């Protein structure tokens, strides 16, 4: 900042003041401009669901801003209940493509805006240091050609990583049809890359997105997969489930890991005027450091994709099979499902007043968890004959009641893989059970403490040979109770083992809809 010197020459003084006023005005205008763009480009980006910041563990380097936690961190929750973890924006909502389902398609008359690289950097840095976000999620409409778009995106990310030395999380949405060189160059600057599959089948895609094709989507996906694979090997990682740990930077040791925090008197506000700026640095950081993933780590948090559900007629069975193939063949970290929200009028699309299929999306996410963490295969959950998930009970319960010959399971002896298939037992509680039973046998009370949801599990397990209540192992009976969704104390009287007769009719609306 300039310093105004006291000057006897009034004209000169006045002109300096004028300059300052103008500068202040322009600052204000820049802020207004950036706010206006932020509104348009956030609004245009909101339908993209992939907004997690997980998958890579990167320590701070003691000098630059940022680190990343493998588990991801949510910072806020929007009115739709979804977590806000990244600054999710489009670089531009200009687009030369005309995908039918998309708000930004060429044929729509909407206000258009494009961020400059500097604006993207500024927003990211300023939001990040206020602890609003974990990093940046940058997507874009197609400006000119896919390659031109990716070049602009590359420039923004390069500036952010190299000039601003941003060390937090970056997720880039690759543009279908962009060249391998660009994908590779960006890949070395970002943590996660994704390319939206959009529609579960190539026919659906052809109908909805005439400018895209399956191959322009799958080709870069394959390239990213190969890039990740080779890069992980050079860092000595063969198991693809292990998140990349980026620690080889001169992280400062801030405190003894064990000691209690120091207590000193430091009257920050009384003695030091808070007007100091970042220039009063008290110690110089070490010189060697690594910023972000630069040149060393290729897409360390892996890649993800997204499918729109409900715009085209594919069944859940279709979708799960595609997801499974993506996990198996493309090593994707996540597949996201996005309930179609009608924005555009088009004869080939659901009518404008169609409600987004949120419950269906929810069931797909639940099933997706079963694929990723519970050892299920898509073919076990659904089939050509039964291509849709049960609306009333979740996919795991649904599977269990159709495989009653495998139950009940004795929790004190069953294998981990068997426990994982019991409704109401999650990954964490299954591990806790296996751990705890080494030190003594487990009963229902212990299970509750370990986080098992007994109101679902009780029909499928025994503890020391006994069931919790004398429930029947019978499909219709269990389904009725599961749908009723009441805590067991309310349905069963433990002393007699008898239960209150109930049917689906006194159920009301037991369906719960959460977010993915």
Partner 1 sequence: MINTVLLHDGTLDGIFTAVYNGFVLKNIKYKNNYEDNISIADIHTYEPHFFREYIEVETDRDKAYKTVDSIVKKIGISGYDVAMGVACHFSPDAGEILFGFLVRGFKIGKGVVNMLTDSYVEKAFALSRKTYNESHLFREFVRFTDVKGRLYSKIEPKCNILHMICRHFAERFPAENWIIYDAVHHIAAVHPSFGQWFLTDDEGADFDRIDSMPHDEYVDMWKLFVDTIAIEERKNERCQNNHLPKWYRKNMTEWKK
Summarize as ranges the residues that interact with ligand SF4 (CB under 6 A). 95, 97-99, 102, 104-105, 141-142, 209
* Residue among 95 and 133 whose Cβ is closer to ligand SF4: 95
Interactions with partner 1, residue window 93-122 (CB under 8 A): none
For 198, phi and psi rounded to 5 degrees? 65, -70
Q: Of 72, 73, 66, 70, whose CA–CA distance to 57 is shortest?
A: 70
Length, in residues, of the chain? 516
Among 2, 5, 10, 281, binds partner 1 (CB under 8 A): 281
Query: Rounded to whole angstroms, how far apart are CA atoms 265 and 272?
Result: 13
**In whole angstroms, how close is the CB of 421 to partner 1 at the nearest point?**
23
* Residue among 453 and 502 whose Cβ is closer to partner 1: 453
**In whole angstroms, how close is the CB of 216 to partner 1 at the nearest point?**
27
* Residue among 194 and 471 whose Cβ is closer to partner 1: 194
Interactions with partner 1, residue window 409-468 (CB under 8 A): 432, 435-436, 438-440, 446, 449-450
**In whole angstroms, how close is the CB of 148 to partner 1 at the nearest point?**
27
CA distances in angstroms from 514 to 265, 320, 362, listed in the order given: 47, 20, 7
Q: Contact region for partner 1 (CB under 8 A) — 45-53, 410-418, 453-461, 499-507?
A: 45-53
Helix runs in 108-213, H state only: 117-129, 146-158, 180-187, 202-208
* Residue among 98 and 331 whose Cβ is closer to ligand SF4: 98
* Residue among 342 and 387 whose Cβ is closer to partner 1: 342
Check binding of 264 to partner 1 (CB under 8 A). yes
Q: Of 99, 108, 88, 75, whose CA–CA distance to 45 is shortest?
A: 88
Among 276, 287, 501, 503, binds partner 1 (CB under 8 A): 276
* Residue among 38 and 507 whose Cβ is closer to partner 1: 38
Among 6, 260, 287, 351, binds partner 1 (CB under 8 A): 260
Q: How is residue 22 written in tokens?
A: 């103008």
Query: Rounded to whole angstroms, how far apart are CA atoms 251 and 395?
Result: 45
Check binding of 293 to partner 1 (CB under 8 A). no
Q: How far is CA 26 from the centre of its chain?
A: 37
Interactions with partner 1, residue window 7-36 (CB under 8 A): 31, 34-35
Q: How is residue 459 written in tokens?
A: 């029909």
83 bridge partner residues: 77
Residue 162: DSSP 8-state: I
Partner whose binding site includes residue 95, from ligand SF4, partner 1, none (CB under 5 to 8 Å by kind): ligand SF4
Query: Rounded to whole angstroms, how far apart are CA atoms 439 and 189?
Result: 48
Partner whose binding site includes residue 102, from partner 1, ligand SF4, none (CB under 5 to 8 Å by kind): ligand SF4
With contact defined as beta carbons under 8 Å apart, do 336 and 366 qualify? no
Check binding of 355 to partner 1 (CB under 8 A). yes
Q: How far is CA 131 from the centre of its chain?
A: 18
Among 284, 345, 385, 495, binds partner 1 (CB under 8 A): 284
Helix runs in 272-342, H state only: 316-330
Residue that is written with structure tokens 């910072």 in the block: 75
**In whole angstroms, how close is the CB of 371 to partner 1 at the nearest point?**
23
Interactions with partner 1, residue window 159-178 (CB under 8 A): 168
């Amino acid at each position: 900042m300039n310093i105004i010197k006291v000057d006897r020459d009034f004209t000169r003084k006045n002109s300096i003041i004028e300059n300052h006023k103008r500068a202040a005005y322009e600052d204000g205008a820049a802020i207004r401009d950036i706010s206006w763009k932020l509104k348009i480009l956030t609004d245009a980006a909101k339908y993209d669901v992939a907004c997690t910041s997980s998958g890579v563990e990167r320590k701070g380097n003691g000098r630059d801003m940022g680190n990343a936690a493998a588990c991801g961190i949510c910072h806020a929750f929007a009115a739709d209940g979804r977590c806000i973890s990244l600054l999710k924006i489009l670089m531009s909502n200009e687009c030369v493509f005309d995908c039918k389902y998309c708000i930004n398609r060429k044929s729509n008359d909407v206000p258009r805006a494009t961020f400059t690289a500097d604006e993207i950097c500024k927003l990211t840095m300023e939001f990040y240091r206020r602890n609003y976000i974990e990093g940046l999620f940058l997507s874009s409409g197609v400006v000119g050609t896919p390659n031109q778009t990716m070049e602009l995106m590359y420039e923004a990310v390069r500036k952010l990583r190299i000039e601003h030395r941003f060390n937090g999380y970056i997720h880039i949405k690759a543009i279908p049809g962009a060249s391998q060189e660009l994908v590779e160059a960006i890949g070395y600057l970002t943590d996660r890359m994704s390319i939206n599959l959009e529609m579960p089948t190539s026919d659906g895609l052809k109908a909805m997105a005439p400018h895209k094709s399956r191959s322009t989507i799958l080709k870069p996906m394959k390239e990213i997969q190969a890039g990740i694979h080779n890069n992980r090997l050079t860092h000595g990682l063969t198991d693809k489930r292990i998140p990349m740990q980026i620690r080889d930077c001169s992280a400062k040791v801030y405190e003894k890991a064990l000691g209690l925090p120091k207590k000193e008197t430091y009257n920050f506000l009384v003695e030091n005027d808070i007007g100091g700026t970042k220039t009063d640095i008290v110690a110089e950081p070490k010189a060697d450091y690594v910023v972000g993933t630069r040149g060393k780590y290729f897409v360390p948090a892996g890649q993800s994709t997204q499918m729109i559900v409900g715009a085209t007629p594919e069944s859940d069975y279709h979708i799960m099979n595609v997801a499974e193939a993506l996990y198996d063949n493309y090593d994707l970290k996540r597949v996201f499902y996005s309930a179609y929200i009608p924005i555009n009028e088009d004869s080939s699309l659901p009518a404008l007043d169609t409600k987004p299929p949120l419950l269906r999306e929810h069931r797909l996410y639940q099933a997706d968890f079963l694929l990723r963490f519970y050892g299920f295969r898509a073919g076990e959950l659904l089939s050509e004959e039964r291509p849709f998930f049960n609306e009333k009970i979740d996919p795991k319960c649904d599977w269990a009641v159709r495989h009653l010959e495998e139950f009940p399971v004795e929790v004190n002896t069953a294998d981990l893989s068997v426990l994982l298939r019991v409704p109401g037992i999650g990954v964490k509680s299954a591990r806790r059970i296996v751990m705890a039973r080494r030190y003594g046998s487990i009963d229902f009370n212990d299970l509750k403490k370990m986080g098992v949801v007994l109101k679902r599990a009780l029909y499928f397990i025994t503890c020391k040979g006994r069931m919790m209540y004398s429930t029947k192992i019978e499909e219709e009976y269990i389904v009725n109770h599961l749908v009723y969704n009441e805590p067991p104390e309310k349905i069963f009287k433990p002393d007699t083992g008898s239960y209150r007769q109930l049917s689906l009719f006194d159920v009301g609306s037991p369906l719960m809809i959460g977010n993915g």
